[in-house]
Chain A
Amino acid sequence: MTTPASFANWKLFVKRWGWWLAGAVALAVLIGYYYAKSPQITEAVLASTLRQSVPLVLGALCGLLGERAAVINIGIEGQMLLAAFIAFLVNVYTGNLLLGVLAGVAIGALLGLLLAFMSVSLKIDQIIGGTVINILAIGLTGYFYKVGLSAHGKLNPIPLGPLTKIPLIGTVLFNNPPITYASILLVFLVHYVLFYTPWGLRTRAVGEHPRAADTLGINVYLVRYVNVVVGGALAGLAGAYLSLEAVGSFERLMTNGRGFVALAVMIFGKWTPFGAWGAALLFGFASALQTQLQFGGQVQIPHQFIGMLPYLLTIIVLAGFVGKARPPAADGIPYEKEG
C-alpha cells in the first residue's frame, strides 16, 4: 500500500509544485547567464526588483492580515499615501527620520482603526469603507501639500559587513536600507504568526467560519480589529518607505496605484505571505526591467508600451492563476451576533 500512496503523493507534489520548481530553476539559470554577460546591469535590475517589491509586499501583508480575518481592505492605497505624507511632514519639521517612520506607521494603524470601525462595528460595506479611506487620503494630502518642503535626508543602506562581499547576492540582498530589511523580516514574521501561533489559528478561523470561532469563546470583533489595525501599520510602513526611503521626498499621489497592485499581489500569492512576496518580486522585476529597457536604450519601443509591462504582467498572471486561489470563506462578510 505504501508504494502507490507515496507515488500518489509524489505525483501530487509535482502537480502542485512542479511549475514553481521549473520556474525557479529557469530563473536561476537565466540570472546566472545574464550575470556572466553583464554583471552591473544584472545587479542593478535585481536590486531594483527588491526595492520595487517592498511597498507591494508590505501592502499585500496588510491586505492578507485583514482578509484572513474576513475584512477586505481596499484602502491600502490611501493608508500608504497618507502615511507617506505624514512621515514626510514629521521628518520635515523634526528632522528625525525614525520619528517620521513611526508617524507613518501610526497613521496607517489609525486608518486601519477607522476601517475596522466602519466595517466591523458599523458593518458598512467593506468596499465602501476602503474607498472612504482612499478618498480621504487623496483629499487630505492634496489639500495640505505644499511645494518646496524638503526632507532631511533619507534612510540609507546599511551594509551587513562581510555578507556584502558575496558576488551578486551580497550587493542585492545585504546592502539595503532599513525598511527593505524590515519588509523581508515581516514576511517571515507574518507567516509565523499566521500559521504557527494561536493568534493566527484564531484569525484564520474567524476568516473561514466566524460563528464557529464565536462558539468557542473567541471574540470575532476583537480579532478583526487587531488584524486590520496591525495591517494598517504595515501599510503605513510602506508609505514611509516611499517618502523616506525610496525617494526622500513627497509628491502628490506618489503611491501611484501600489496599494491596489498590492491587493493583486496578495491574491496572486493566494493569501499567504510567501506567495505574496513571490508575486511582489515578480511585479518588482517587471518594473525594474521596464526601467532598464527605457533607460538602457537597447530596444526601440515607445516607452508608453514598456511602461505597461508590470501591469500587463500582473493582469496576465492574475487572469491565469486567480481561478485556483480560494479566498477565506467569510471574506468580506460582516459578522452579526444573534440574540
Chain B
Amino acid sequence: MSEVLALEVRNIVKRFPGVLANDHVNFALRKGEVHALLGENGAGKTTLMNIIYGLYHPDEGEIFVNGEKVTIDSPHDAIRLGIGMVHQHFMLVPVFTVAENLILGAEPTKGWTLNLDAAREAVRRLSEQYGLEVDPDEVIEDMPVGVQQRVEILKALYRDAKVLVLDEPTAVLTPQEVEELFVIMRQLTERGVSIIFITHKLKEVMAIADHITVMRRGKVVGTTTPAETNEQGLAAMMVGREVVLQVEKSPAKPKDVVLEVKDLVVEDERHLVAVDGVSFEVREGEILGVAGVQGNGQTELVEAITGLRHIRGGKVLLRGKPTPERNPRYLIEHGMAHIPEDRQKHGLVLSYTIADNLVLCTYYKPPFAHGLQRNQAAIVENAQKLVGQFDVRTPSIFTTAGSLSGGNQQKVIVAREFSRPIKLLVANQPTRGLDVGSIEYIHKRIISMRDQGAAVLLVSAELDEITSLADRIAVMYHGKIVAVVDADKVTRTELGLLMAGSKIAEAAPAV
C-alpha cells in the first residue's frame, strides 16, 4: 500500500437534477497502468471523468494526484496537474487545422504572433515519437474520425499529460485502428503515462487492461483483473444479471424485395465518387449486413438510401417504386426507419426534450397533432410508454436529449424508429457506444423486426455484429460491393480479407 498512486478519488458524489450520477465512488489509478472503467450506459463513467478533469464539480469527495490532495476547479487545473482527457464526443474545432487544435489554449508565440511553424513542428515531433500519423495542416472536419482521435491524443500529449483519460476511444474506430490505438497505449504506459480506458467492449478490456473497475448506477461494483475474470463475468458484473453475449436467431425466411439499389453512384462532400455503381436488394424477413472498413462509402450509401444525400447515378427502389430524391419524409411515410451513424448530428435534436425527440417523425400526424395543434397528452403518453419499454435511463421524459448519456441517446433513437410500423430498417452502427445489456436488447429488437417481416439493412464496422446478425453479408471496399455472401458460409478470416480488398475464390460474385 506504500506505492504512490498516479490518481485517486475518494467518496466522490455528484448529483444532477433527479439523478445520483456518482454515489461515493472510490477509484485508484496506479502509475503506468491501463485501468479499464466499465459500466452500463448512464452508470456515471463520463461524469466521474469530467470531475477529474475539472469540468464538473463534485458535491462531495476528494481527489489525490501523486498522493497529494488537490482541488480541480477547471480543466486548466487538470492540465496543470498533468491530466489529459480524450472526450467521448470529440472536443476539436472542426474548422481549425490539426496544428491549430493542438496548440489552442497553450500557444507557442514569437513576440505577439502565433508560432504556427512551432505548432507544426510539435505535431510532427509527437507524431513521430508515438507513431501517430497526422498532417498538421489538414482541417479537422475533412478527416476521418479515427484520425481525429489521434489529434485528441496528441493534444493531451502536447500538454504533457501523465494521466490520460480515454472516454470510449474505440467506439468510433475500425478494428485496425483499435489495434493501432492499443500499440500507442502500450507505448505510453511504458513511458510512465497512466491511462484510464473507458469502453463497452469486453474483448478490449481483457486484451489491454491491468485493472478493471466496474460501475453500475453511480456506484463502483468492484475492481478486478483480466486474470481473475472473463467476458461473461464482466458482463454480469456490469448489468447485474447474466447476459447472453451470443445472439440467438432462427434462419431467415426472405420474401418479396423491399429495397432495391441499382447501379447507385454517390459523391462525398468533396465531390469524389464515394459509392461507385452499387447494386443489391434486401427482402422482407432478412438482414443484409454491409461489412467494410469505415470510410469505404458506407456513410454515403446509407445517406443516399435514406434520402439525405444527392444521388449522382442509379436508382433506389422501395417496394418496386423509384423513390423521389432527397425526400426523407416520403421514405418515412412509406415505412422506412433509420438509425443514423451520428446520433447527435442526425439522430436527435439535442436541445429538445426526450418526449419531442420521440415524435420527430410523426409529430404532424394524429394522434400527436390535431390539425395545426400539437396534442401534448398523446406526446407525453407516447414518451412514457417508450421510455419504459426501451429502458431509457432518464430522470424524466422532459429532460433534454443532450443531457442523456451516450447510450441512452441511442436508445431514444431506436425507440422512436421502432415505434412505427416499418417495412425497411436502415441501421448504421446501431450499437455504437452501447453497453452489453443494451446491445443484447437492440439486437433482439432488430431480429424481431426481421421476423415480423421487415427488411433490414445493417451497416456496421463491428465484425461481430455483422456475423451474428446478418443473414447475408455484402462487403464494401473502395465504394464498390466486392462480394455478397451467405453469413453461415463465410469465415471471419475470409471476411477480413474481403474487407481489406482481396478476392477469395469461394466468394460469390456481386449480385
What is the interface of chain A, defined by CB distance below 8 A to chain B? 196-198, 200-202, 204-205, 208-209, 211-218, 329, 338-339
Contacts and interface: CB of A to CB of B under 8 A. Distances in A.
B92 A212 contact: yes
B55 A213 contact: no
14 contacts: A202-B104, A204-B95, A204-B96, A208-B95, A209-B91, A209-B93, A211-B91, A212-B92, A212-B104, A214-B75, A215-B75, A217-B74, A338-B50, A339-B50
Contact of A339 (B56, B76, B78, B114): B56
Contact of B75 (A201, A209, A216): A216
Nearest to B51: A339
A205 B104 contact: yes
B62 to A, nearest CB: 17
Nearest to A214: B75
B96 A217 contact: no
Contact of B114 (A198, A209, A216, A217): A198
A200 B100 CA distance: 11
A212 B95 CA distance: 12
Contact of B92 (A196, A200, A209, A339): A209
Contacts of A202: 104-105
B93 A212 contact: yes
Contacts of A198: 107, 109, 114
Given A201-B100, A201-B114, A217 B105 contact: yes
Contacts of B14: 339
Contacts of B16: 339
Judged by DSSP, the binding face of A is helix
Contacts of B112: 197
Contacts of B50: 338-339
Contacts of B74: 217
Contacts of B76: 217
A208 B53 contact: no
A208 B94 contact: yes
A201 B75 CA distance: 18
Interface string B55-86: 11100000000000000001110110000010
Contacts of A201: 96, 100, 103-104, 107, 114
Query: 4 tightest A-B contacts by CB?
Result: A339-B56, A217-B76, A216-B105, A198-B107
B87 interface: yes
Nearest to A207: B93
B79 A217 contact: yes
Interface in B343-379: none
Contacts of B505: none
Contacts of B155: 216
Interface string B12-30: 0010100000000000000
Contacts of A339: 14, 16, 50-51, 55-57
A216 B94 contact: no
Contacts of B56: 338-339
Given A201-B107, A217-B79, A338 B93 contact: no
A215 B57 contact: no
A215 B109 contact: no
Given A205-B96, A215-B75, A217-B105, 7 more contacts: A197-B112, A198-B107, A205-B104, A208-B94, A209-B92, A212-B104, A217-B76
Contact of B113 (A196, A205, A215, A216): A196
Nearest to A216: B105
Contacts of A217: 74-76, 78-79, 105
Interface string B145-180: 000000000010000000000000000000000000
B114 A197 contact: yes
